[in-house]
Amino acid sequence: MKVGFISLGCSKNLVVTEQMIGLFKKHNYEIVDDASEADILLINTCGFIESAKDEGIKTILEFADYKENNLKYLIVTGCLVERYEEELRREIPEVDLFVSIKDYDKLWNKIDNLVNHKDHNDLLNYKDRVLTTGDAMAYLKIAEGCSNYCTYCAIPYIQGRYISRKYEEILDEANELVKKGIKELVVIAQDTTKYGIDLYGKSRLAELLNDLTKIEGIKWIRFLYSYPETIDDELIKVVKNSNKICHYFDLPIQHVNDRVLKLMNRKSDGKSIRDLISKLRQEIPDVILRTTLIVGFPSETEEEFNELCDFVKESKFDRLGAFAYSAEDGTPAAKFNDQIDEEEKIRRQNKIMEIQQEVSKDLLKERIGKTYECLIENITDDGEYFIGRSYMDVPSEDGVIYIKFNPEYMINEFVKVQITDSYEYDLVGFIKE
C-alpha cells in the first residue's frame, strides 16, 4: 500500500514524522509525496498555539475529503490529538485512527490492527528514521518534553517533563547521519541548554557540541532554543573556539519587562538578558543572535509594550520573530485577568515586526561586499539563482542568500559567496572563485 505523510508544526515534530516514515518503510509500505496517490495518509499535528490548532483541524478536514476517492485510511497523530482526542473523535468521524503522544509506543500495533487486523508491535526509533530535509542537513533531537512551565505554554502538559536522550545514543545517531552524507546537524530540543540535567545532574550541552565537532565529515553544527538563564561561560567558549559550531545563538527571551517576565514564569530579567547579549557580542564579534517575543500577554500595559519596542530598536537582533499571545487551554496564563483584545495584540505584533524589518534591512546592508561560506540548497524556478544559506541562516526559519547561477557548481556544495545586494531579510551574491 502507498503511504503519504503531512507533518505540521516545529522541527521537533518533523523528527517524529521522519521516524514514522521509517517505521512504514521498514514494513515495506511505499512512501509517496503526492497525497492524492496515497492509500494511507498520516497527519502529524501540532497543538502548541491557537493558529496551530486551526491549521491542524483545517488540514484534517481537507484530506478527509480524499476518502471519497482513493484514500482508504486517514490516521492523525501528535500534539493536537494529545490535547483534544475526544473532541476530534466526535467532530471528525472520517478519521480512522487517532494516536496520541503517550501512545506512540503502541503506534505500529494500532496501525497494523487497523490495516491488517493483526497485533504486531514495533517501536518508533531513530535508527529507521527517513530524512525529509534534503541530502545535506538533518535535525538531531536531544530531548523530549519540557519542565520550565512558562505560564503561557502548553508543551509540558502535552509532551510531559523534560527527558534527555542518552549521551552515547545521540553521538551514535550523529555518526550514522554523517555516514549518510549529512554535512549540517541542527541540534534541537524544547530547551537545549537543559540537556543532561535530568540524567547526569548537570548540563552537558557544551560537552556534547564539542564531541560532535570531532565527527569527521560534519561541516556545520547549530543548536536552537537555548534559554538565556542557562547559557554559561563553558558553552560560550565552546562555540567561540570551534570552526564547526556556527556562531549563532537562538535566545527565546519572550519579553524584557521584569513584571511581564515574572508573570510568564521566566527565569531571566531585563538586566540579565541585556548583559548576556552584550557578553555574547563581546566574546564572539561575528555572532548572530535570534529571539522570539510574545506581545499582548495578559495585563501587558502600553508602557511595557513600548519598553519592548525600544529594546528591539536598541538590541538589534539579527533575527527576530514576534507572536501575539494565545490563551492556551490548561495553562495558568489563560486564567489571568486583563486579557488583551485580539485586535490590539495583532497591532502590537505588527508594530514589533515593522521595527525589526528596519533593523534587519540596516544590518543586512552592512553585509554587502563581504564574503561568506554558503551551502547551496536549491535553485530558483527561473534557473537564474542558486538558493543558499550561510552560518547566519537557520533552515526554514531565517532568510536565504540568492547566488548567481554558475554551472560549475551543484546543490549541496559549499561555496564562497560575495554579497552584492540586500533586502529586508535576504541577501544576493555571486560565487567567488
Q: What is the pLDDT of residues 119-158, one digit of tens each?
A: 777 888 898 899 999 999 999 999 999 999 999 999 999 9
Contact 126, 175 (CB under 8 A): no
Q: Are residues 237 and 331 in the same domain?
A: yes
Signed CA dihedral, 280, 285, 288, 289: sign only: positive
Q: Which of 365, 395, 422 is the last residue of a domain?
A: 365
Helical H segments across 30-130, by residue range:
50-64, 79-91, 107-116
Q: Count of domains in the chain?
A: 3
Residue ranges making up the domain that contains 406: 371-431
What's the full length of the chain, in residues?
Answer: 433
Q: What is the pLDDT of residues 371-422, one digit of tens each?
A: 999 999 999 999 999 999 999 999 999 999 999 999 999 999 999 999 999 9
Mean pLDDT of 173-181: 96
Q: Are residues 318 and 198 in the same domain?
A: yes
User: Whole-angstrom Cα distance, residue 54 to residue 210?
Assistant: 40
Residue 122: predicted pLDDT:
81
Residue 86: predicted pLDDT:
94
Residue 49: predicted pLDDT:
82
Residue 298 neighbours by CB under 8 Å, 6+ apart: 263, 325, 327, 333, 336, 337, 338, 339, 340
Residue 155 neighbours by CB under 8 Å, 6+ apart: 48, 145, 146, 190
Contact 1, 116 (CB under 8 A): no
User: Whole-angstrom Cα distance, residue 261 to residue 264?
Assistant: 5
What residues does 388 pair with on adjacent strands?
376, 401
pTM of the model: 0.93
Q: What is the pLDDT of residues 28-74, one digit of tens each?
A: 999 999 999 999 999 999 988 888 899 999 999 999 999 988 899 99
CA gyration radius, the chain: 22
DSSP run (H or E) holding 409: none
Mean pLDDT of 74-89: 95
Residue 80: predicted pLDDT:
94
Residue in 40, 129, 48 with CA at minimum distance from that of residue 82: 48
Q: Are residues 388 and 310 in the same domain?
A: no
Residue in 42, 93, 98 with CA at minimum distance from that of residue 71: 42
Looking up residue 414, the CATH number of its domain turns out to be 2.40.50.140
Looking up residue 237, the CATH number of its domain turns out to be 3.80.30.20
DSSP run (H or E) holding 173: helix 167-179
Collapsing DSSP to helix, strand or coil, 293 comes out as: strand
Contact 297, 255 (CB under 8 A): yes
Q: Are residues 156 and 304 in the same domain?
A: yes
Q: Are residues 15 and 103 in the same domain?
A: yes
Looking up cell 549521551 gives 167
Q: Are residues 238 and 317 in the same domain?
A: yes
DSSP assignments along 227-239, one per residue: -GGG--HHHHHHH
Q: Are residues 337 and 403 in the same domain?
A: no
